[in-house]
Amino acid sequence: QGQTETSAKNVQNENENVGFKCLNYSVVESNGTVEVTIVKKRRGQFTFGVRTVNQTAVAPKDYTHEDKIITIQEHETEYKFEVPIVDDAEWQPDVYFAIELYDPNTEDCKKLEGDDT
């Protein structure tokens, strides 16, 4: 309740290792969080970073910034990641932030290749 998703099916340039199950989420402030599912696409253990990026929504005013290193174990196929949303009394139009998957082993923590990352 309070959260909708848009499927990531039919992504042309997808990452071969990991990607978002859905590319767009919509959530009302009163929901408190947005839950994002990341899918592992290959066998074995895989480690990557996940971080939020300001757009028209800005942390910490609109949401809580997250930056984590995640390891999906060999027996796991997905990871659920929650971002806290700030619920205030102030009216504002729809605002947006992004979530990126990145390689924590590169010097500049480069975003992973693919339209689903």
**Per-residue pLDDT reduced to its tens digit, 56-95:** 999 999 999 999 999 999 999 999 999 999 998 888 899 9
Number of neighbours of residue 23 by Cβ within 10 angstroms: 15
Task: Tell me the one-letter amino acid at 64.
Answer: T
Given pLDDT bands bounded at 50, 70 and 90, which one contains residue 101?
Answer: very high
Q: What is the pLDDT of residue 92?
A: 86
- Beta bridge partners, 59, equal none
Which helix (H) or strand (E) segment holds residue 84: the answer is strand 78-84
C-beta of residue 20 within 8 angstroms of C-beta of residue 38: yes
Nearest to 52 by CA among 41, 42, 43, 61: 61
CA angle in degrees (0–180, nearest 5) for 107-110-113: 145
Q: Is the pTM value of this prediction over 0.75?
A: yes
